[in-house]
Structure 1
Amino acid sequence: MRLSSYTADRFLLLLLSLTLVLPFFNFARYSPAPDWWTNSVVVMLLVPVLLLALWRDVAADESYSIAVPRLLPLAGLWWCFVFLPVALRRDGGIYSLALSESLAVLLALVAASLLFQLQNRLGRPQLLITLAAVMLGGGLLQALIGIAQLLQVAPLADGWLVYHQPVPFIMGNVAQRNQFAHVLTWGVLAAVYLWLGQHLRSWLAWPAIGLLALVMAWSGGRLPLAYAGAMLLVAVAWYWRSRDRRLFWGLLSAALLILLMQWGGGWLAKVLTGQSIGSGWDRLGDAGFGARRRIEWQKAWLMISAYPWFGVGLGDYAYHSTWLEAFGGLPKLPESALFTHSHNLIMQLLAETGIPATLLAAGTVSLCLLPFLQKQHANRENAFLLLLAATILGHSMFEYPLWYLPFLLAFLFVLALSPLPPVTVAVRASLRRLGLSVLLLGCLLYLIFGIPGFFTVIKVQQPSRNPAENQQRIEDLLRLSRNPFWAYEAELTLANYLRPSPQDLEIKLQHYEQLARYRPYPMLLCHLAMLRAWHQQPQAAREAMIMAIAAYPEALPVMLQTLTVRSESEIAPLKQLVLQAQQAYRQGGGLAAVQSVASRSLGRPLP
């Protein structure tokens, strides 16, 4: 049976749509790679996508010139500007995210270009109907998982559903409340869009929207309030431009349902389960209304001021954030957590890639989104796409959804479907097919070697009591560390087998220096301080210990226990420093412990 081009295109569209939904059902969220499957399911779906695209290109025998979205050359320029210098310079540490991020962005751009070409062949309405139907289905399934979590029946699913005990968190299998609310909001927007085109009857659409809004409120996320605000703005703007009453009332009603559930959802949860569930509205002022985020934004600004042209480097935010926690003289609000991101897309890009790269990214996004706002493009399809982009950008001002491949794909899909006229690019058919073949082979190799790597690291997190078994595990981890996509996870796990001691000092010190420079977790910093002390680096040892205390005051008991068992004279100053902080903690809590060691002002340049 011969596959027709139309059938292939429809199947391609379905697979691309599923990349936005299916990865969020990841249930294998195990340390140290809880999100590996989320991104890898996208790669799995892109394997048949690339295979079909390759077959389609051969079957169509397309001409020398092809039309691509205007996004592609601009984003390609940004990709070269950001990632090529990192690859050539190679001074960002062996665990630099540049490899993973560069390939993820490249794959997402190719997928967005394929979607753009499907729009030309299938038509924009058909493409968006399929996208919306898949988004709605995914959102409703996630909402059902959220209900199972509320009713505390998720543990009965034998590990297939994510859950938290003893207090239930309503987070679906997305496993993070703001991302969960984001996915449910996509479901709301999809339902409204399908209802607008009469592809979904009112008796199905509005109960679905109500259910999604209710579970969204139970998640406790605050961002749905902003999403509802965006719906109201687009409803008014589109009515003013196109006088589309159905669109106006559809978006207005959906936004009001979201707000209504924010106020009444907690009462309904109390009636159903007897539990008090706080909505985003109830949590609006929690944690000083985002005070911790404002501190991270101040840190990012200091990084921008110190490194305006090229930033501190991709993936290097975490170390500089922890260093500034100790020596930046910033306000203190200890959370004993590692911040790998500033929780603001613009500040993060400025801090890690510099001002020129960020301006190029902002210019590209603006160029693609502004045509959606033009009067001649004020239709229902563009309202749907613009609201998808608004949820992603709004979320990105407070967290980092674009660091997850499904959200990145969705954003690039919107930019690729911009009303901007396409660009005609002259590319030989043989080169197109070679590029698709290389990407296809890369995806297959990533999965073939990555899946065993995942199971290796999760099975050997802690040493066993059998020395021979531990030796075999060390050999397995060393072998896995040669895979650049697993180097960090393998060597982080290996650190559990390399206890700090004066023996083999050079090897251990190099190992811990690299780990702490990339992800300065509390015990990594503590062990690094000990190794530096034995290596006759007392000032550097003290600095690492101060960073550990300032960023993780809740880890003081474990640090003290680790230091107490060592009797070497080099360790004594570190032990005294931790004892001093522990005493301050007993008297005034974590804030007092941090203030006992942290600098009151930024007295020296950033590292």
Structure 2
Amino acid sequence: MTNNQSLWRMALLPVWVGFVLIAAVPFLSIWRTGPQLGFFIESGSLLFVLLFVLASVLLGKNLSGSLKNVPRASWYFLAMAAFWAIQARALNVVYVGLSDVVAWIFVGYALLAWACRAWIKRVGQEPIVAILAWALVLGALAQSVVGWLQYTDLAGHFSGYLMYRQGIVEGQLGQRNHFGHYMMWGVLSCAWLWGQKRLHGILALILLMNFSAVMALTGSRTIFAYVLGLALLLPVWRVFADKSHNRHIATLALAGIGVVLAQFFVEDLMRFFSQNAALESAAERLNNHAFGGSGRNYEWQKAWQIFLSAPLWGHGWGSYAYQGFLLDVYPNGFRPYETNVLFTHSHNSFLNLLAEMGLLGTVLVLGGMVWAISGSLKQPRSSASLLLLALMSVSLLHSVLEYPLWYVYFLSAFALFICLHDNPPNTENTHSGSLKREKIGIALATALCLAMLAGTVRLAFAYADLNRFARTGGNLVEKNEKIMGLRHISQTQPILRYYADLSLLEYLNPHSTNQPKWAYRVARDNALFRPYANAHHWGFTAYQQGEIETAQQWLQHMYRYYPSKMPYYGSIVMNAPHYPKLRDDYTRICQDYYRRIQQTSQCAEGLPPNPQTKAASRQPEM
């Protein structure tokens, strides 16, 4: 290694620790628990951001509290925080706390940008970005080790710690596309460090070969999109930059070529050494894929229609699940793909933003991002900015097909890329009045950071209680205690209210007419936000409250969105004594479904009738 002396200083320890915590550690945990499976990983990611800000305040020497020295990225994130909070109230969304938590996350990123500016002013952009690149290389190296353990099935000895499922390479992220996304960050960072002469060429080649090989094993098709994006970025950058960037462009291009070659040859090489190597490569999966009848095709159509129905403001954060549930774009009237799964996202982040946040929110997100990073793209162009753009392109291209930035740990790293696109002014105002105002600004920012830290920790304890109450089972007394605990969280924790309500649904029994007083509100709010397959509770609860037409319309939507669940829904409709006006609809729609898919009917009317409903089930034909 050469040219590393400026990075290995105790003064930069907060940057090293902070960037490793933000850009590597959250990706190395598969801890999933409770109704919001990734709560601790995602809240931990925000916690690491805030700890880095606090460390910068305590250990940094040139933080500025002047409004003149607040970076563009801070204003950008604050503007998004305000929009998320205002839109939720203007549209009266069902669970406003879920919009508010996103707003607070953006406030945390505004503080992150402020802290990053201080370090860039103190050390310079290139060394700070180099530390980020090292953090990503270290994270990718750890991920690659896990990937090889999964490929060789050695990770099977550590199920629940190093793997989710057998027969797939997905690192610690639990999804092959997320794994490929992160590994591409590692490839780009490694190649850039090589171009900076901060990583010896031989070691860089070994790391690049390792990263490219394990990416080939995961079979993620989006990897081709990343390389295509890099192929477009590099020549454009060369046109607007000078020849001093040739080395970086060459190392990044070589890395991209290596990634592509690995997609075609690594699997064959592995089969030569092992007859058990039977994973499907990304090239094979791409060749076997047809977009026309895929779920993405239908979900994209729905997202566009949802946007057109409310083009300016959108329908509110998280509204896609409900709005997409209501739309019928299917050829035979029934959803033909993943018929027991709720699509909470259209699998295209840009279409999803249009649907949920409208044109105003989408322009703010994308236009504001361009404005926030534009300062570092002016002449003379920085090689650090080239890496940051390449890293951002990976996330943005992945967002065309999925929603990685809906996960806080991916979003935090992406926000860090934006924050490091900074070109702070060199002028310093040393007037005593200005220094006093700056101290006040720093004190206020520090107080806000401490308050958010305390709130994040407090929320984690509340979520631990939620997780405990959400576990069903136990005797009658224990069940009552859990119900009371969930209701208390629903009433006192706006951010967790949805998850508490979702857990309360488990205690509803549609076969009973003695529903608790809270059943109507909980079933309705859940259904009107994220109508999972258990949203049938809303139809049955509404029916028992005398809203017969509402129940009929809702369950018709349920049958068409979840056709594979119709036998289960029918077992309630046909065998419970108190839903007689739902039976004709169910029988007609269920028979229509099995006729259309040309399969033997599995409709519940073929089940032996419950003695209590035998007479009611013998309705004369109309």
Corresponding position of 1:513: 524
CA 1:150–1:507: 2 relative to 1, 3 Å = same
* Equivalent AA in structure 1 for residue 545 of structure 2: H
Indicate yes or no: 2:362 matched with 1:358: yes
1:267 matched to which residue of 2? 268
**Among candidates 446, 470, 474, match of residue 479 of structure 2:** 470
Structural mapping, 1:562-573, within 5 Å: 562-568=572-578, 569-573=580-584
Residue 479 of structure 1 pairs with residue 488 of structure 2:
yes
Question: Which is worse superposed, 146-155 or 324-333?
Answer: 324-333
What is the aligned partner in structure 2 of residue 318 from structure 1?
321
Q: What residue identity is the alignment partner of 2:265?
A: G
Equivalent position to 2:549, from 521, 539, 562: 539
User: Could you state the TM-score of these two structures normalised by the residue count of structure 2?
Assistant: 0.85
**Aligned-partner Cα distance in 1 for 2:76–2:34:** 36
**Farther off after superposition, 397-406 or 284-293:** 284-293
CA distance in 1, matches of 2:117, 2:335: 48
**1:120 matched residue in structure 2:** 121
- 1:117-516 aligned at under 5 Å gives the runs 117-157=118-158, 159-165=160-166, 168-240=167-239, 241-243=241-243, 244-270=245-271, 271-272=273-274, 274-289=276-291, 291-325=294-328, 333-336=336-339, 337-369=341-373, 376-377=380-381, 379-418=382-421, 428-451=438-461, 453-454=463-464, 456-457=466-467, 460-464=470-474, 466-481=475-490, 482-500=492-510, 501-504=512-515, 507-516=518-527
CA distance 1:171–1:455, change in 2 (3 Å): farther
- Change in CA separation of 1:263 and 1:143 when aligned onto 2, cut-off 3 Å: same
Q: CA deviation at 1:577?
A: 4.7
Please name the residue that 2:566 is paired with. 556
Q: Aligned residue for 2:6?
A: none
> 1:359 Cα deviation (Å)?
1.9
* SS of structure 1 residue aligned to 2:256: helix
Amino acid paired to 2:71: P
Query: Cα offset for 1:34?
Result: 1.8
2-structure distance, mates of 1:24, 1:410:
10
How big is the shift at 1:97?
A: 2.0
CA distance in 2, matches of 1:488, 1:327: 29
Structure 2 CA distance for aligned equivalents of residues 99 and 456 of structure 1:
19
| Structure 1: distance between partners of 2:336 and 2:289 | 9
Report which stretch shifted further, 415-424 or 404-413: 415-424
- CA gap of 1:540–1:83, structure 2 versus 1, over 3 A, is same
The offset of 1:70, in angstroms, is 1.8
Report if the CA contact (8 A) 2:84-2:102 is conserved.
no
Distance 1:449 1:368 in 2: 31
CA contact under 8 A between 1:179 and 1:401: conserved in structure 2? yes
Q: Secondary structure at the match of 2:69?
A: strand
Task: Please report how far the alpha carbon of residue 117 of structure 1 lies from its aligned counterpart in structure 2 after TM superposition.
Answer: 1.8
Cα offset, 1:484, TM superposition? 1.9
Q: Report which stretch shifted further, 418-427 or 332-341.
A: 418-427
Aligned positions, number:
580
> What corresponds to 2:83 in structure 1?
81
Cα distance, 1:393–1:201 mapped onto 2, change above 3 Å:
same
Aligned partner (choices 58, 67, 70) of residue 68 of structure 1: 70
- Residues 120, 97 of structure 1: alpha-carbon distance in 2 compared, 3 angstrom cutoff: same
Task: Name the CA shift for 1:155/1:317 in 2 (closer, same or farther; >3 Å).
Answer: same
What's the offset of the Cα at 1:431? 3.9
Q: Is the 8 A contact 1:20 1:135 kept in 2?
A: yes
Amino acid at match of 2:277: Q
CA 1:97 to 1:445, structure 2 compared with 1: closer, same or farther past 3 Å? Answer: closer
1:421 to 1:295, Cα distance in 2 relative to 1, 3 A: farther
- Return the letter of the residue paired with 2:260: L
After superposition, give the CA deviation of every residue in 1:142-191 in whole Å (9 maximum; x if it has no partner): 111111122222231263223214xx221111111111111100110111
Matches within 5 A, 1:92-107: 92-94=93-95, 97-107=98-108
Contact preservation (8 Å) 2:46, 2:412: no
Structure 1 distance, partners of 2:320, 2:63, is 47
- 2:522 and 2:230 mapped to 1: Cα distance? 50
Q: How big is the shift at 1:252?
A: 2.0
* Structure 2 residue matching 1:496: 3-state secondary structure: helix
Structure 1: which amino acid aligns with 2:201? S
Deviations 1:194-252 (A, max 9, x none): 11122211221112111111111222211111111222233333444433442233122
Q: Look up the equivalent residue of 1:307 and give its one-letter code.
A: A
Alpha-carbon distance in 2 for matches of 1:538, 1:328 = 28
CA contact (8 A) 1:530 1:571 kept: no
1:328 and 1:310 map into 2 onto residues whose CA distance is 30
After superposing the two structures, state which structure 1 stretch, 185-194 or 239-248, moved more.
239-248
Q: Quick one: distance in 1 between partners of 2:154 and 2:126? A: 39
Taking structure 1 as reference, are residues 580 and 95 closer, same or farther at Cα in structure 2, changes over 3 Å only?
farther
Which of 25, 30, 35 lines up with 1:32 in the alignment? Answer: 35
CA offset digits 1:443-478 (Å, max 9, x no partner): 2232234245236426743333x2122122222222
The CA RMSD measured in Å over matched residues stands at 3.0
Unmatched runs of 5 consecutive residues or more in structure 1: 1-5, 594-607
CA distance in 1, matches of 2:130, 2:297: 40
